[in-house]
Amino acid sequence: MRSLWRVVLLMLFVIASLAAACRDVRPVVKIGLIAPFEGLYRRTGYEVLTAMRQAIAEAPSHEIAVVPLALDDSATPERSRRAAQKLLVDPQVRSIVGPLTPALTAAVADILSDAGVFWFVPYAVEPEGGFASALHSTAWAEGLLAAVGMAVQRQGAVSLAVAGDSNGWPAWDEAHWSAMTGVPTRFLPNDSASLRPDEAIFWLGAADEAAAFLNAMPSSSADAPFWLGPVGGDPVLTERLKTDRKLYWLTWSNSHYTDHVMGHEPMTPAAVLTYEATRAALEAATGIRTIPASPWRVAMFVVENGVSRPFSLDE
C-alpha cells in the first residue's frame, strides 16, 4: 500500500513539475489599446483588437512576454479619458495604442502626452515610415489634405468646404487649409444648405455624424463630392445613410498592406494601421525588432451601394 502511495505522490510531483515548467515565467509587458468595444463602433473596436493580437503573436520570440490590455472608450471623449487613466494605473503598461480618431486623441492628450509611456495613434503616421506624435506632427493631416484637394479638383470642384468636428486636426485658419489642399477652402457651418455650387465637402468628424449631415443635405447638393478621412471605412456610415449617393474616403496605407490582407483577418485599413502601430509599440516598449517601417501612401476608396472599394482618380 505504501508503495502505491509513493507512486501516486511521485506522479503528482511529476505533473506539478511539468505544469511549472510550462508556465511562462518571463517578465510581462502590456500594450494598452483604447478603442470602442461597446456602442455604435464596437465592430471596429474588435477588428483592431484582433489586429493587435496578431501583431503580438507574430512578433519574434523574446525574453519578455507581451500581452494586450484593451479598454473600451465607446468612441466618446469621456470614456476615452477614463480608459487612458485606467491604463496608466497598471505599471506593466509600457505602450498605448489609440484612440482611433483625432477628436478622441485630443480628449486624452493632457493625460497621455507626458505620462511616461510610449503612445502611438494609428492614423498619425510618419509618411517616410513609422509613426509620429499626433500632438506635435501634422504630416499625417497634410498628406490627406493634399490628396483630397487634388481629388476634388479632378472631380470638377473649384473649392472645398470643411465640415464636422475638427478637434484633433491641426488648428489652422482657412488660408492655411487652402494652402494645404491647393484649392480655396472654408469652414462650413453645420448647415448643408449653405453649400456653394461647384464646392466639395471634406468631413472631419465621426461616421454617424457624417450620415446625419448627408441625410439633411438638400437635393440640390446631392452631386457635390463628399469626402471623409479614415472614418469613411466604418460600416456605421452606410448603415445610417438614407440617401443613395457615392461617398469617397481616404486613409494611409503602405507596402505591408497587401501582405497583411492576404494572410490575416480582419482586412480593413483601420485594422492594418493598428497592426502596424502595435508593432511600433512593441519595439518601443521591449526592443523587439520587427520588419523595417515602410513608407506610407494615401489610399482612396469609393462607397457605392453600401460597399467600399479602392478608388482611382482616373475613374
pLDDT in tens, 120-133: 999 999 999 999 99
Residue bearing the bigger pLDDT, 168 or 266: 168
Supply angle C-alpha 205, 207, 210, rounded to 5.
70
Shared domain for 159 and 200, answered yes or no, is: yes
Shared domain for 187 and 61, answered yes or no, is: no
**238 within domain boundaries:** yes
pLDDT at 195: 81
Shared domain for 69 and 188, answered yes or no, is: no
| Number of structural domains the chain divides into | 2
Query: In whole angstroms, how large is the CA radius of gyration of the chain?
Result: 23
Q: CA 140 → CA 103, 155, 297, distances in Å? A: 15, 23, 10
**9 within domain boundaries:** no
Shared domain for 291 and 157, answered yes or no, is: no
Q: What is the pTM of this model?
A: 0.88
**15 within domain boundaries:** no
Q: Cβ of 218: how many Cβ atoms within 10 Å?
A: 9
pLDDT value at 308 more than 50: yes
Shared domain for 65 and 162, answered yes or no, is: no
Burial of 46 (0-12, 13-18, 19+ CB in 10 A): middle
Shared domain for 181 and 33, answered yes or no, is: no
Tracing cell 518571463 back to the chain, one arrives at 26
pLDDT at 13: 47
**13 within domain boundaries:** no
pLDDT value at 14 more than 90: no
What is the DSSP secondary structure assignment for residue 230, as one 8-state letter?
G
The number of angstroms, rounded, from the C-alpha of 252 to the middle of its chain's C-alpha atoms is: 10
Shared domain for 213 and 287, answered yes or no, is: no
Which residues, including other chains, have CB under 8 Å from residue 162's CB and lie 6 or more apart? 177, 185, 186, 187, 188, 201, 202, 204
pLDDT at 202: 97
Shared domain for 234 and 263, answered yes or no, is: no
Q: Is 42 helix (H, G, I), strand (E, B) or coil?
A: helix
**21 within domain boundaries:** no
**3 within domain boundaries:** no
Domain of residue 241 covers 139-253+299-310
pLDDT value at 2 more than 70: no
pLDDT value at 103 more than 90: yes
pLDDT at 221: 77
pLDDT at 9: 46
Q: Give me the mean pLDDT over the 100-106 stretch.
A: 97
Measure the CA–CA gap between 175 and 190, rounded to whole angstroms. Answer: 20
Shared domain for 35 and 105, answered yes or no, is: yes
Mean pLDDT for the chain overall: 88
CA atoms within 13 A on the CB side of 147: 23
pLDDT at 226: 96
**35 within domain boundaries:** yes
Are 209 and 184 within 8 A, CB to CB?
A: no
Shared domain for 235 and 306, answered yes or no, is: yes
**1 within domain boundaries:** no
The CATH number that applies at residue 114 is: 3.40.50.2300
pLDDT at 20: 43
